[in-house]
Amino acid sequence: MTTTTPAVPACLLTPYSAKPNQKGGTLVAEAVESLQEHRRLVCDPDAYRPERCPRCGFSRLHAHDFRDRTLVDERTERVETIRRYQCMGEGCEAVWRILPAVIARHLHRAWETVEAATSKPSCSKLPKTTLRRWLARLQLVATQLTQLLATTAGPVLAVTDPLCIACTRSELVAALAGGGVLDRLHRLQQFAGWLHRLEPGVRLM
């Protein structure tokens, strides 16, 4: 009896380039790995300012405004401030929100919360439906992700080359962590940042 691999939801696979009418989006500041560092940087209009607009290449971006991002952990909710910048290039005006690496895109959580819950599901106090969704997504096939990583030279290729094309996302991340390419404690956070840099809009989970 053969089993059918669940289809990967389109929301995980759609890059910004597939949305021709979209102006702007999210940029991940991969070096910002703690909320304490983010809170310090977000007060400075230049700290997160992109050098160029990813859409048109213009070199002047205006510190546009702020947005609140609510993060939920097992017991409380907290609000973090996110900066947005607007391209001043003629005919562009794309608006880019800058997200520190420590905050997971679309999951309304800090990555440390996601890492802890998916590492030890039986100990997590998160809603069971949320946890089941996260775990199910990590078991989805990682074909597109391995193809994206094939564009990366060096130690990443050495780890991913032996992997089966039908490996899961969880297996891919575990292999990279086991090969010393990812920090074991921040493996999902780092990997999600890589993906977004390689193909903005594509998500791990």
Give the pLDDT of residue 164: 67
Give the pLDDT of residue 29: 97
Q: Which tokens sit at 3?
A: 């089993």
| Total tally of structural domains belonging to the chain | 1
Domain membership of residue 1 (yes or no) is: no
Q: In angstroms, what is the C-alpha Rg of the chain?
A: 18
State the pTM of this model.
0.89
* Burial 42-78, CB ≥16 within 10 A → b, else e: beeeeebeeeebebeebeebeebeeeeeebbeeeeee
Domain membership of residue 133 (yes or no) is: yes
Domain membership of residue 203 (yes or no) is: no
Q: Give the pLDDT means over successive 10-residue stretches in the chain (205 positions).
A: 74 88 92 96 96 93 96 86 96 95 95 95 93 96 88 71 81 91 94 93 94
Whole-angstrom distance, CA of residue 117 vs CA of residue 102? 15
Nearest to 114 by CA among 44, 39, 56, 189: 189
Please count the residues of the chain.
Answer: 205
Give the pLDDT of residue 20: 79
Domain membership of residue 5 (yes or no) is: no
HSE-up of residue 188 (Cα within 13 Å, Cβ side): 25
Domain membership of residue 137 (yes or no) is: yes
Q: Which tokens sit at 99?
A: 């997200």
Q: How far is CA 158 from CA 77, 138, 154, 161, 181, in A?
A: 41, 22, 7, 6, 10
Cβ–Cβ under 8 Å, residues 114 and 107: yes
Give the pLDDT of residue 4: 66
What does the H/E/C string look like for 103-166?
ECCCCCCEHHHHHHHHHCHHHCCCCHHHHHHHHHHHCCECHHHHHHHCCCCCHHHHHHCCCCCC
Range of the domain at 118: 10-198
Domain membership of residue 72 (yes or no) is: yes
Give the pLDDT of residue 190: 95
CA angle 107–100–42, rounded 5-degree value: 125
Q: How far is CA 27 from CA 30, 99, 199, in A?
A: 9, 6, 11
Give the 3-state secondary structure of residue 21: coil
Domain membership of residue 113 (yes or no) is: yes
Domain membership of residue 3 (yes or no) is: no
